[in-house]
Chains A and B, each alone.
Chain A
């Protein structure tokens, strides 16, 4: 197999994880014609695929858990707010209660405020989540660019060194083999390690994203506290007593 094909495979290995993370614009790598063995590249590709599969599995599990949590939370929140609003509606439809206009108005105002507060709180949390997620994503992008620079440099150096080996030792096959192997190892080292680091960073960011999802809890707690405050004040009971 020619070096052209091997570099094609390396192309995949380098760019696949990067593509997973960012919308990195793919640019064609330079290709050179040198006779090389394909075995190393094949093994690396196999390892890479195995690792990616494992990472994807973990990622999808985290995503599932996150989504489930979000759905549960929003159901809980919706149910609680709806319950309170339904309760208020019930009070309002009550004949006795209807007569007490002052209380009725106060309750309506509260109902309106509660809905507004709920929407505002959810918007605030949502905006903040979006902003923080973007920040985390930008961090991944920034670091991926750095790794890519290093990988590109390693690739260019490898190509230059291979050319140099060909020119400097045209007659010495043993020397060419030893040096070519060294260049190959060096390049593989950079590509493998950099890819691992990008995946590790991606996992760190995934964990941070889970924590960002938990911000919804703050919105939930805020609304709950507000409801409790309303109940603790004994707003309705006291007002009814006053009116009586």
Chain B
């Protein structure tokens, strides 16, 4: 019973810290949340990927909270393993929201690894999008410049024609 209670309190403590981090990120205007909101204002797809990446990172952050907790409370090695294993159920529940469908505790090790890789891959996909955005912007600039030069050319020729008419008169 006591053991169950300890597990529950531990999990609740970690979740509280996780929520604190979430609130601090929003109130403290963490650039990871706010930059994409403006950067991808007109690119909803990239904003969606950034949001997903943030929440995956946040879930992953709970393991860091656990490390800090063990350090602060000087938890013994064998208890650490026990508590980590107990948190892995919570971890799996979180991941169900992101399509990692398994409640089997053994899978949490694999999911832990896949989560990190997914964060990196989402980053690469968004990076490829960013590169394309930059190129698209430079292409738009070149196009606007070419159009302006074309207008200038038309006006120049028109001017020449008017001068010719004046000369004739």
Identify the A interface with B (CB < 8 A).
117, 120-121, 124-125, 127-128, 131-132, 135-136, 138-139, 142-143, 146-147, 150, 154, 157, 161, 164, 168-169, 172, 175, 178-179, 182-183, 185-186, 189-190, 193-194, 197, 200-201, 204-205, 208, 211-212, 215, 218-219, 221-222, 225-226
> Are B101 and A139 in contact, CB atoms less than 8 angstroms apart?
no
Enumerate chain A residues within 8 angstroms of B124, measured Cβ to Cβ.
208, 211
Shortest distance between the CB of B57 and any CB in chain A (Å): 16
11 examples of A-B residue contacts, CB within 8 angstroms: A124-B101, A150-B139, A161-B150, A172-B157, A179-B150, A179-B154, A186-B146, A189-B143, A211-B121, A218-B117, A226-B106
> Are A168 and B154 in contact, CB atoms less than 8 angstroms apart?
yes
Closest A residue, CB atoms, query B139? A193
- Kindly supply a per-residue 1/0 record for chain B positions 84-100, scoring 1 wherever the CB is within 8 Å of any chain A CB and 0 otherwise: 00000000000000011
Shortest distance between the CB of B107 and any CB in chain A (Å): 6
Number of residues from B at the complex interface, CB < 8 A: 43
Bound complex: CA of A125 vs CA of B122, how far in Å?
A: 15
Q: Does B23 contact A (CB under 8 A)?
A: no
Closest B residue, CB atoms, query A175? B157
Bound complex: CA of A128 vs CA of B114, how far in Å?
A: 8
> Are B118 and A204 in contact, CB atoms less than 8 angstroms apart?
no
> Are B136 and A208 in contact, CB atoms less than 8 angstroms apart?
no
Given contacts A175-B157, A208-B124, A218-B110, A182 and B150 within 8 Å (CB-CB):
yes
> Are B132 and A197 in contact, CB atoms less than 8 angstroms apart?
yes
Q: Which residue of A154, A161, A197, A212 is within 8 Å of B135 (Cβ)? A: A197
Shortest distance between the CB of B94 and any CB in chain A (Å): 15
> Are B161 and A172 in contact, CB atoms less than 8 angstroms apart?
yes
Closest B residue, CB atoms, query A141? B45
Q: Which residue of B102, B142, B158 is within 8 Å of A189 (Cβ)? A: B142
Bound complex: CA of A183 vs CA of B109, how far in Å?
A: 60
Given contacts A179-B154, A183-B150, A194 and B139 within 8 Å (CB-CB):
yes
- Kindly supply a per-residue 1/0 record for chain B positions 120-154, scoring 1 wherever the CB is within 8 Å of any chain A CB and 0 otherwise: 01101110110111011001101100110110011
Enumerate chain B residues within 8 angstroms of A169, measured Cβ to Cβ.
157
Shortest distance between the CB of A233 and any CB in chain B (Å): 14
Bound complex: CA of A143 vs CA of B146, how far in Å?
A: 23
Shortest distance between the CB of B30 and any CB in chain A (Å): 23
Q: Which residue of A157, A178, A211 is within 8 Å of B157 (Cβ)? A: A178
Bound complex: CA of A225 vs CA of B49, how far in Å?
A: 32
Bound complex: CA of A201 vs CA of B136, how far in Å?
A: 11
Shortest distance between the CB of A167 and any CB in chain B (Å): 12
Shortest distance between the CB of B49 and any CB in chain A (Å): 7
> Are A197 and B139 in contact, CB atoms less than 8 angstroms apart?
yes
Q: Which residue of A147, A194, A225 is within 8 Å of B109 (Cβ)? A: A225
Shortest distance between the CB of B144 and any CB in chain A (Å): 11
Q: Which residue of B107, B122, B154 is within 8 Å of A121 (Cβ)? A: B107
Given contacts A131-B99, A218-B114, A222-B113, A212 and B121 within 8 Å (CB-CB):
yes
Bound complex: CA of A172 vs CA of B160, how far in Å?
A: 12
Bound complex: CA of A17 vs CA of B100, how far in Å?
A: 35
Enumerate chain A residues within 8 angstroms of B149, measured Cβ to Cβ.
182
Enumerate chain B residues within 8 angstroms of A218, measured Cβ to Cβ.
110, 113-114, 117
Q: Does B79 contact A (CB under 8 A)?
A: no
When A and B form their complex, which 4 residue pairs have the shortest distance between CB atoms, in order from nearest?
Answer: A204-B128, A222-B110, A186-B146, A143-B132
* CB-CB contacts below 8 Å: B68-88 with A: none
> Are A222 and B109 in contact, CB atoms less than 8 angstroms apart?
yes
Closest A residue, CB atoms, query B160? A175
Enumerate chain B residues within 8 angstroms of A125, measured Cβ to Cβ.
110, 114
